[in-house]
Amino acid sequence: MEFLSLRKSFTGLVLLFCLSSLSSPAGSDDVFAIGTMKIPPGEMRSGYLPVPEKDGIRTSVPFTVIHGSRKGKVLALVAGVHGYEYPPILALYRLRKMINPDSLAGTLIMIHVANLPAFQKRIIYYNPYDWKNLNRVFPGDPQGTISQRIAYVLKEEVIKKCDYLIDLHCGDGNEALIPYAYWMIKGDQEIDKVSKEMLLAFGLKYIIIDKTRSKDISHSKYLGNTAILLSKPAITTESGYLGKTDEISIVRNVKGILNVMKLFKMIEGEAEFIPEPVWIEPYEVIYSNHDGLFYPLTKMGYHVAKGEKVGYITDYLGEVKEEVRAPFSGIILYIVYTPPISQGEPLFEVGKAKPLSK
């Protein structure tokens, strides 16, 4: 029921786009270049960014650029950095049909599936050719493995060409996850302020205050962090879970993106900000010390007390090898909810809600 009414209101929004008059028209020579493509104002184009071949392995990155007929900001939307995270991917295909370039101010870059090999092979976390996590290898390397080369292409063709970036994630195929987002703190007042506004506009209730990311661009690791270190305000969002394609998670992504577009005056309408965000600090990911099977004893969104048993791990013969406990009292942001577990992989993430959430 909830999503049906939301869909109706989106239809209304699409009509509104056609009526908008938001900023001055772009000049006819104001082309937007990406890869080998040059896109004039008022046009939408889709294609593939090639990721160069090495050792017989290559891929490409499917994208759409909607270059508005009016001048404005460039917002990059990246889905599918993890290939088993479907709601953001589906949200961008939906958004692609909703935005009219004639009434758009600025430019949208949509990366539909950043990690195409992982999507094709239905692999969580990793790329099946190098078994690296794309969201741990930024800023990438043009001479590196396939994940490093994808990261490099995304840095050159997406991050460097945008003003703002949203890295759209969700619970991976094995992760039960409540919607939340990361506010990656750079320590630059203006960039942190804009990133915060993007988070409040995107509208996910739980927001992790994350001061842990490297400030060294050569070890930026994450797509969003790389954008921030290149002075592009950016957020990482999580909406969706366990490999599902549920409508509510898809709509939450679409709605969040449209509201960020309003924030940057790309489409008509006033951005709405989430009235009562819950700020999370600190947070911690707990990793497995064993290979085997994980048995969770709590659920996503549940509160756990410090020391509470959150789950246990058995070996492949059914013998308990490890009991897993909460390092501090907090909320379960995600928890692995399928049996396989390997040493060094995440089991769950817990975060402490800060009082006075403003």
Question: Which window, 12-20, 81-89, 301-309, 337-345, contacts Zn ion (CB under 5 A)?
Answer: 81-89
Q: How far is the CB of 302 from Zn ion (least distance, A)?
A: 21
Question: Which window, 112-120, 163-171, 209-217, 307-315, contacts Zn ion (CB under 5 A)?
Answer: 163-171
Q: 97-156: which residues touch Zn ion (CB under 5 A)?
A: none
Q: 84 or 129, CB closer to Zn ion?
A: 84
Total number of residues that touch Zn ion (CB under 5 A): 3
Question: Which window, 85-93, 227-235, 286-294, 317-325, contacts Zn ion (CB under 5 A)?
Answer: 85-93
Q: 34 or 118, CB closer to Zn ion?
A: 118
Question: Which window, 167-175, 187-195, 243-251, 303-311, contacts Zn ion (CB under 5 A)?
Answer: 167-175
Which of 82, 132, 149, 232: binder of Zn ion (CB under 5 A)? 82
Q: 73 or 82, CB closer to Zn ion?
A: 82
Q: Which string of x and - marks every residue 24-63 that binds Zn ion (by CB under 5 A)?
A: ----------------------------------------
Q: 107 or 236, CB closer to Zn ion?
A: 236
Q: How far is the CB of 170 from Zn ion (least distance, A)?
A: 7
Question: Which window, 65-73, 161-169, 182-190, 317-325, contacts Zn ion (CB under 5 A)?
Answer: 161-169
Q: How far is the CB of 47 from Zn ion (least distance, A)?
A: 24
Question: Which window, 66-74, 80-88, 297-305, 316-324, contacts Zn ion (CB under 5 A)?
Answer: 80-88
Q: 112 or 169, CB closer to Zn ion?
A: 169
Report which DSSP code applies to 20: -
Per CB under 5 A, 169 contacts Zn ion: yes
Q: How far is the CB of 24 from Zn ion (least distance, A)?
A: 38
Q: Could you tell me the two tokens for 159?
A: 């991050």
Q: 222 or 279, CB closer to Zn ion?
A: 222
Q: How many CB atoms lie within 10 A of CB 176?
A: 21
Q: 275-304: which residues touch Zn ion (CB under 5 A)?
A: none
3-state secondary structure the chain: CHHHHHHHHHHHHHHHHHHCCCCCECCCCCCEEECCEEECCCEEEEEEEEEEEECCEEEEEEEEEEECCEEEEEEEEEECCCCCCHHHHHHHHHHHHHCCHHHCEEEEEEECCCCHHHHHHCCCCECCCCCCEHHHCECCCCCCCHHHHHHHHHHHHHHCCCCEEEEEECCCCCEEECCEEEEECCCCHHHHHHHHHHHHHHCCCEEEEECCCCCCHHHCECHHHHHHHCCCCEEEEECCCCCCCCHHHHHHHHHHHHHHHHHCCCCCCCCCCCCCCEEEEEEEEEECCCCEEEEECCCCCCEECCCCEEEEEECCCCCEEEEEECCCCEEEEEEECCCEECCCCEEEEEEEECCCCC
Q: 104 or 227, CB closer to Zn ion?
A: 227
Q: How far is the CB of 85 from Zn ion (least distance, A)?
A: 5
CA distances from 247 to 4, 7, 96, 166, 184 (A): 9, 10, 17, 20, 28
Q: 69 or 135, CB closer to Zn ion?
A: 135
Q: Which helix (H) or strand (E) holds 18?
A: helix 2-19
Binding site for Zn ion (CB under 5 A): 82, 85, 169
